[in-house]
Structure 1
Amino acid sequence: MSQRSENQVSVADFDTPVDRQKTSSLKWDRYQGKDILPMWVADTDFKVAAEITQALKARADHGVFGYTLVPDELKDLIIQRMSDLYHWTVAREDIVFIPGLVCGLNVASRAYAGEGKSVGIPTPIYPPFVSAVENACAESCFVPFVEESGRWMIDWSALEAKAADIDLLMLCNPHNPGGTVYRRNELERLASLAEQHDWIMCSDEIHCDLILDELEHIPFASVSEVARERSCTLMAPSKTWNIAGLGCSFAIIEDPQLRRRFRKTMQGIVPEINLMSIEAAKAAYQYGQPWLNAQIEYLIGNRDYIEAQVEDIPGLSMLHTEATYLAWIDASQLGLENPARYFEKFGVGLSAGSDFGAPQFVRLNFGCTRALLTCALQRIRQAVDSLPE
């Protein structure tokens, strides 16, 4: 509903802190009343683009919040974005709206796997991948990530050894944790394996707009006809524009049979996306690119800062983060049973690597002000310095 012209953009100030205490924030309320900096769950501390706020206010002023249809305008904005960014042509009917990516993982696991089926899961991985497979009563087939040329990558030998047993492969691109951005030849290799072993592919691409290096995000479904026919792609504006609490996500499923299976699994269980999430998504896709560009520059600065600091702290290390605002830090040299719990005692709340399948790692969310990040890293350094020699 915003009438903002293309040459009017919001001015982003990512250094100004926003007080999120006592706002029912999952991230901040976890440590309410404690001197612990929340650097865990993946939302940022940045105020959203002004255009998003304006769109929400305009809709609130309308005063009626009844049952809502997803307008073709939002579908067309998504279609245009897929074309402009990825040269990927999708149709309105290919888009299925869902109220969250975790919901999408669960629907896909039920629709394409289920009891007696095996789901390939690259690990370490965002925890809901594993729980979605468990909820579907399917078997998890874990495939490790290994260090390859200074980045995290699927252990291809392990994947190929297990390929014949896999029915559905759950991809995360960019990968969470670690921030790996898949290259075209790697996606083509996965498509070849999918064809050879008759896999369906579910690709979580929620962090696709948060590429921090001179790399391109390539949707798996766009690499070939084989990939298109076997894919369910999950995307959202939520991580990109910090609107996860509004609940707007979508699946792009070009194969009609796969789309029917997905929709059938949703029936009577998964609600429609809400009115305010629609308005926020429309504003983000229509007016949010300048704000996003500024955020990317800020996150690059944070990423470079944390990589330099971690390199200088004895016992900690991390590979280069190509995408996302989530640093994946190896604390195995510290000899701690639970690194996240130890750092929490020094006032830094990190995601425990054990939740992702890597107990000696921690994940740090650097989608915050530089000042907060600096304070957190100072506390981490103090924690390491306090260990007995």
Structure 2
Amino acid sequence: MTDFDAVHERRGTGSSKWSRYPADILPMWVADMDFPAAPEIVDAIRSRLEHPMLGYGVARDELRARIVEDMASKYDWLITADDIVFLPGVEPGFNMALKAMLEPGDGLVVQTPVYRPILNAAGHWGLVRNEVPLRATGQGYVMDVGPLASALAKSRALLLCNPQNPTGKVFTKDELAEITALCENNDALIISDEIHCDLLFDGRRHIPIATLSDETANRTVTLMAASKTYNIAGLKTAFAIVQNKDIRERFAQSKLGMVDSVNILGLEATLAAYAHAMSWKEKMLGYIQANRDYLSQEIASRFPAIRLVKAQATFLAWLDCRDMDLTPDPQAFFLEHGKVGFSAGSEFGAAYGGYIRVNFGCPRSLLSEGLNRMEHALAKR
């Protein structure tokens, strides 16, 4: 059984998270949890390695059937095995969809702040990025329908992130219905990054936007993976659900020699995650929800000038540090003076230089250490 309090040394293992900075920096940036993968996943990989052939991989029927079953049991979403397209990541997936379905000069709506791959996607294909900011309230982040309607009126597609990264927002059914109505009115494609869909707190239930109606399903590319929930992102496995056959065929053809086949061990790990690691997932969710609550309490008591809207999902916190007047920006300040590496707010949109994103998917002792380093940096100032 996994001990989520245990700290594992990750330096020297090829970890992107732990290789970016010198050894005296505590990394709390990229969306990669500091927990071991579920034993069931490790065992499945070990078992697969008993067979010495590691050629190109293809998803077995068992994995397709498992995803179909999961969509039905979790979301009452009836899909077929043919609707699933396996990918080496969600990011290649939404870029494939943009390449396949849009033309240079078309408008693309994104809701900001949003993580950098989504923010930058329009620029890869000569699209016009139309940003619609989410607004913080005491109860969470909300979307303003008027600006969204105006943006969609001059766009061919919406690139949605739900649950949202970095705010941790979970879109409600009513909000999703407003989005789908606007997309239908403007004949806009919906590309929905739902990679954090299993990481919801406080009893919330994820709603895939494609489940709202047959019309919505017919214009939606949904992107999911086990990678964030089960901390297996390095195994490079994800999948798209595309129920419109024409869109699915155009989507699959858009690989264009740039998107490779899926990691054969990642396919085994994904099957093991969905089939056998439910207990691990539930314990992990309880742990990171407690971390979220601890972080919120500590920020409020130790750093009252920082505004934090408690995340509804993900293991990421979005901290508004604008009132602290940290120079040159909060990320650089805490890196230099506190030796702790957060994600810079400017990566999530030009208007967010006064923010940082904090990864609280880690043992409590590391989270506490990060807060202590922030306090030390401010005390030195």
TM range, normalised to the smaller chain? over 0.9
Q: Does 1:353 align with 2:342?
A: no
Cα separation, 1, equivalents of 2:96 and 2:160: 15
* Equivalent in the alignment of 2:320: 330
Matched residues in 2 for 1:62 and 1:162: separation? 52
Indicate the SS of the match to 1:61. Answer: coil
Does residue 1:210 correspond to 2:199, yes or no? Answer: yes
Q: 1:244 and 2:233 equivalent?
A: yes
Aligned equivalent of 2:122 = 133
CA apart distance, 1:152: 1.2
Tell me by how many angstroms 1:68 deviates: 2.3
Which residue matches 2:364? 370
Among 139, 142, 154, which residue is 1:153 paired with? 142
In the alignment, the residues of structure 2 paired with residue 162 and residue 341 of structure 1 have an alpha-carbon distance, to the nearest angstrom, of 33
Determine the structure 2 residue equivalent to 1:219.
Answer: 208
SS, match of residue 43 in structure 1: coil
* Partner residue in 1 for 2:17: 27
Question: Are 1:344 and 2:338 counterparts?
Answer: no
What code does the residue aligned with 1:176 have? N
Q: Deviations over 1:43-87 (max 9, x none)?
A: 101011111111111111211112222111111111111011000
TM, length-normalised to structure 2: 0.97
Conserved in 1, the CA contact under 8 Å of 2:152 and 2:158?
A: no
| Aligned match of 1:15 | 5
Residues 1-389 of structure 1 aligned to structure 2 (within 5 Å): 11-33=1-23, 35-312=24-301, 313-336=303-326, 337-345=328-336, 346-357=338-349, 358-387=352-381
Aligned residue type for 2:71: M
Cα distance in 2 for residues equivalent to 1:202 and 1:191: 12
Task: Quote how far apart the aligned CAs of 1:271 are.
Answer: 1.2
Gap regions ≥5 residues in structure 2: none
Number of aligned residue pairs: give it.
Answer: 376
In 1, Cα distance between equivalents of 2:224 and 2:295: 27
The structural deviation recorded for 1:385 is 3.1
Identity %: 39
- Most deviating of 295-304 and 63-72: 63-72
Render the CA deviation track for 1:85-127: whole Å, top value 9, x for unaligned: 0000110110001101111121122122230211001011010
Q: CA deviation at 1:149?
A: 5.0
CA contact (8 A) 1:105 1:128 kept: no
Aligned partners of 2:100 and 2:142: how far apart in 1? 27
Instruction: Flag as ranges the 4+ runs of structure 1 deviating above 4 A.
Output: none
- The 8 Å contact of residues 236 and 250 in structure 1, kept in 2 or not, is answered as yes
> Over aligned residue pairs, what C-alpha RMSD do you find?
1.1
- Partner Cα separation in structure 2 for residue 51 and residue 306 of structure 1: 30
**Residues 51 and 288 in structure 1, CA contact (< 8 A), matched pair in contact too:** yes
Which amino acid in structure 2 is aligned with residue 36 of structure 1?
I
Q: TM-score, normalised by structure 1?
A: 0.95
Q: Distance in 1 between matches of 2:376 and 2:298?
A: 13
**Residue identity opposite 2:291 in structure 1:** N
CA displacement at 1:386 relative to structure 2: 3.2
AA paired with 1:349?
G
